[in-house]
Amino acid sequence: MRKKVAWLLVSSMVALSLIVTSCSTATPVEEGTTQEIKGEVVQKETPKTETEETVEEEKKETEEKVPTHGWLEDSETPTTAIGDPVYGGVINIATATDWQVFDTIRYAGQSHVYGGPVYEKLAIGDWSVDRTVFNFPDDSGKTPEAFSTPLLLASWEFPDPLTIIMNVRPGVMWQDKPPVNGRAFDADDVVWNLERSNESPYIEKTYFDMIESITKIDNMTVEVKLKPPAQPFSQFGLLETDSNHFVPREAVEPESNQTEDWKKVIGTGPFLVDDFVPGSSVRYVRNPNYYRDDERHPGNQLPYVDELQVAIIPELSTRVAAFRTGKTDMIGGLQWKEVQSIQQSNPETLFRSYPANSAIIYRMRNDIPPFTDARVRNAMQMAVDLEAIRDSFYQGQAYSYSPFVTAVHGDIYTPYEDLPESVKNITTYDPEGARALLAEAGYPDGFKTNITYVPTQNPGLAEILQAYLADIGVEAEMKTYDWPTFNSIRLNKQHQGIIQHWNWNSPSPILLLNVFADPTHIFNLSVANDPEFKDLMAEISVEFDYAKRSELVQKADYMTIEKSFYITMPQGLLTNAWHPWLRGYTGECTIGNFQYFQVFARLWVDEQMKSER
């Protein structure tokens, strides 16, 4: 049986087709220390398990070196190692995704991404943060509250759990284009945009549904009242939500309530849209009246470059070719094989890996025997060799497990090797222990169940789980569906045993953890209904001290694994690559929720180095 599992790991690795994305295109898909990788790839040395030795015997051709990953090692990187900024030049990037509109109100295509250089939000990631502490690793755009700072606001206040005071930043001007013509941004703009989003039938309503009232106090102050009960994540969540890109009311068509004409795309941001050819390209030019200075270099008005040019290139191979030849300055969302290929052709290239937006995990129906028994659920997890899957299926390019508090949450994330024993005992491969738990729970000969999944998502992973379960006597029937059918099954909770699902990099893990506290929640596919966990989440809901709340959130995250509400799996890594002439960059994905292109306002180009390539 172990030989079968080992072969599945190899064959699945060969067939692996992760859903990937570029940080620069930001199409949401799905430890350690970050380092810039130059030249030769370094192979991680790890003790060989029996499974890995079998893999080597049967498929030696898979012994390819893969890039390392982790946090930046040089503490000086954020301020000195990147050099002195210079103005001028052009940054060129490519995206796989086409779009038609820039206004974010309808969630149309990738409007949140491509409107980002122009439209801004109330908050943004703190670009000045030490990258050894937090290095903006999330490709889906989430930046935790601890590493965020006001943008269109000068400050915010939370006088009580149900009140937000928004103090508008003085000196912010709309871009100097008709019909707005460079007027000042004020409290009326905040009120109008919040009300517009609150009334929209298209946007995600998690935070807007919490609004009780929006009131202009004076020309630079807005008060927002929230509905009870108070939620500790709701105040910052409303400030940072991806639905809050601000547009001027003068540029919005009354019939559609959005900006239809790209020539009327006007914001407060560092770039203006200068030209747009749907399906081909967009060119942004420097906003000469931008109000913000470089957080790392006070006194330097942003942006540094004269232009940001984005080409639409759907094929990954063509985007990689454009990067190899220097036609683009960076490329994101790469898997290890693309990284290895680029290192061979362009050894001077810099790389940094980051966690994919989501990880496939498997949820068990906690309300249907035998998964009502935590010992059975624990056995399912203990039957799975997470490190073997990481090393073979993901070729080492993954974190060993995928919790709800992930690496993107910075200081409250726990690397696999540092997990408490109560969690490590469950996530460590122990088939003998798993069989003992099944016997203790009354299933000495195992039992039959099923796995509901979509075969196109990480093909082969569900079959690997099936093989591991068979090794402890659990016979899992495979039930495969296309996405529409699967989606209907999961949302209506029509699965009976185990179902494929995802752990997302949420900006607030509380939102995801809360799912398990409500057995009726549409995404509680485990139908978990655990009194101890519900009490803990209730305690979190009234804790407004960030440090204390973070400790409780971490405890709740551990508990979901200790009680095995789901079977965790490794979380894959993707990689950003950039040429050394792109300066000021250390592989950051985004500096706030859907604020990918704000990064490029803070970078500059060494034109001499680029011309000598």
Give the Cα separation of 284 and 542 in Å (integer). Answer: 45
Ramachandran assignment for 388, one of left (phi > 0), alpha (psi -120 to 50 degrees), beta (any other): alpha
Check the CA dihedral 388-390-391-395 and report its sign. Answer: positive
Q: Which fold has domain 358-572?
A: Dipeptide-binding Protein; domain 3 (3.10.105)
| CATH topology identical between 90-324+579-611 and 358-572 | no
C-alpha closest to that of 177 among 235, 263, 259, 284: 263
Give the Cα separation of 320 and 306 in Å (integer). Answer: 24
Give the Cα separation of 68 and 589 in Å (integer). Answer: 18
As given in the structure block, the two tokens for residue 283 are 């060119």
pLDDT value at position 140? 62
Q: So where are the chain's domains?
A: 90-324+579-611, 358-572
Give the Cα separation of 121 and 138 in Å (integer). Answer: 18
Residue 102 is which amino acid?
F
Residue 372 is which amino acid?
T
8 Å CB contact between 121 and 244: yes
Mode of pairing for the β-strands spanning 221-226 and 211-218: antiparallel
pLDDT value at position 58? 37
Residue 389 DSSP symbol: I
* pLDDT tens column, 498-520: 999 998 777 678 888 999 999 99
- pLDDT block averages, 10 residues each, the chain of length 613: 56 43 37 30 34 38 33 36 87 88 70 85 93 80 82 95 95 96 97 90 78 97 92 79 84 72 91 94 97 96 98 95 97 90 96 88 97 98 97 91 85 89 97 98 98 88 97 97 93 95 80 92 95 96 87 96 97 94 93 87 95 85
474 SS3 class: strand
As given in the structure block, the two tokens for residue 280 are 């081909």
* pLDDT tens column, 382-417: 999 999 999 999 989 899 999 998 877 877 889 999
pLDDT value at position 485? 94
Q: What top-level class would CATH report for the domain 90-324+579-611?
A: alpha beta
